[in-house]
Chain A
């Protein structure tokens, strides 16, 4: 848990906002959601959330999500979302 909090502390504010939205929607604490938590594989992210998540990403990024970018690798975890949609370099927040 300590390691998770350490990673989250270094998250950029935009990614942090997405993290908080996902955690709230999934009914878990943001502290339980690290940058490399598998969102789909661990079923944190469900179909009920997906359209709203795209809306949040567009709001935070300030740009529409390219439909072609909606693929498994882009939504694997928060680090991947940051990398694909917010320009956060891959490797940030403990992503290798």
Chain B
């Protein structure tokens, strides 16, 4: 991998400072600028999302291998005593922590940014399409990790529409066009490719089978194997599940997702490790973020 100055790797997730952080912020600012043009309202959500919400989406059936649970210990004093007797020593020795009794898991770490929107709009009737955006730290367990390319925790910017079938389709088509334009403007090449989500046991998962019969996911693939953005049509899956109505019917939804670390990787792979050679120098990051900046 081409080194990216200011990028730090701990084996499953990245930290940023200096030029890499600046690039990360400029990329997200570029995505936010697109969201602005689309008329999307910006949201900020917490790191965790309720297990009950994900269960309504059949998430645990479809992606049990990818879930990261927010686990809490049972508050029983003896249980806590048993836990603390071993935890620091085991974790310090690199053996990992063996949990004692835990409470039932009610929350998990967000696996996809757009999942926060559908419960937020539950049981509402929309008189116009809703265009929405958010950036989330997303978490997905993988069999292996690679710096900037495949991480347990990564930044995802999404732009979402909730509307009629025609509005969702029109958004998806525009999203593909906008991503292609964005890539071309940056001198990058990523090929639009029909894809499916990484379902558990896809051969017996009805949602996975339906994705093969009705391709609804287009990924923009860089270097032959790295999806840097995806456009997804959900039909009325979320609208029906969460009782969101538009034009007298269950709402249709679609989303455009950017994996921000992967865009950092793409630019370093394409332009090298000298920040002076990177594009996006003309993209302004929001002033408040500049004040937060800590130089290396």
Q: Please state if A70 and B209 are interface contacts (CB–CB under 8 Å).
A: yes
Q: Please state if B206 and A51 are interface contacts (CB–CB under 8 Å).
A: yes
Q: Please state if B214 and A50 are interface contacts (CB–CB under 8 Å).
A: no
Q: In the complex, what's the smallest C-beta–C-beta distance from B200 to chain A, in angstroms?
A: 15
Residue of A nearest to B235 (CB): A43
B81 within 8 A of A: no
Chain B contacts of A41 at CB under 8 A?
214
Q: Please state if B206 and A50 are interface contacts (CB–CB under 8 Å).
A: yes
Q: In the complex, what's the smallest C-beta–C-beta distance from B32 to chain A, in angstroms?
A: 33
Q: Please state if B213 and A70 are interface contacts (CB–CB under 8 Å).
A: yes
Q: In the complex, what's the smallest C-beta–C-beta distance from B238 to chain A, in angstroms?
A: 13
Residue of A nearest to B204 (CB): A51
Q: Please state if B206 and A72 are interface contacts (CB–CB under 8 Å).
A: no
A2 within 8 A of B: no
Q: Given A47-B207, A51-B206, are A70 and B214 neighbors across the interface (CB < 8 Å)? A: no
Q: How large is the interface on B (under 10, 10 to 19, 20 to 34, 35 or more residues)?
A: 10 to 19
Q: How far is the CA of A48 from the CA of B206 in the complex (A)?
A: 7
Q: How far is the CA of A50 from the CA of B203 in the complex (A)?
A: 11
B174 within 8 A of A: no
Task: Report how many residues on chain A are interfacial, defined by Cβ distance under 8 Å.
Answer: 15
Residue of B nearest to A73 (CB): B213
Q: How far is the CA of A71 from the CA of B213 in the complex (A)?
A: 5
B186 within 8 A of A: no
B210 within 8 A of A: yes
Using a CB-CB cutoff of 8 Å, which residues 27-82 of chain A contact chain B?
40-41, 43, 45-48, 50-51, 54, 67, 70-72, 75
Q: Given A43-B235, A72-B215, are A50 and B204 neighbors across the interface (CB < 8 Å)? A: no
Q: In the complex, what's the smallest C-beta–C-beta distance from B158 to chain A, in angstroms?
A: 22
Instruction: Select one of A40, A43, A47, A75 contacting B206, CB under 8 A.
Output: A47
Using a CB-CB cutoff of 8 Å, which residues 179-220 of chain B contact chain A?
203-204, 206-207, 209-210, 212-215
5 tightest A-B CB contacts, nearest first: A47-B206, A47-B210, A40-B214, A50-B206, A75-B213
- CB pairs A–B below 8 angstroms (9 shown): A40-B210, A41-B214, A45-B213, A47-B206, A47-B210, A50-B206, A70-B213, A72-B214, A75-B213
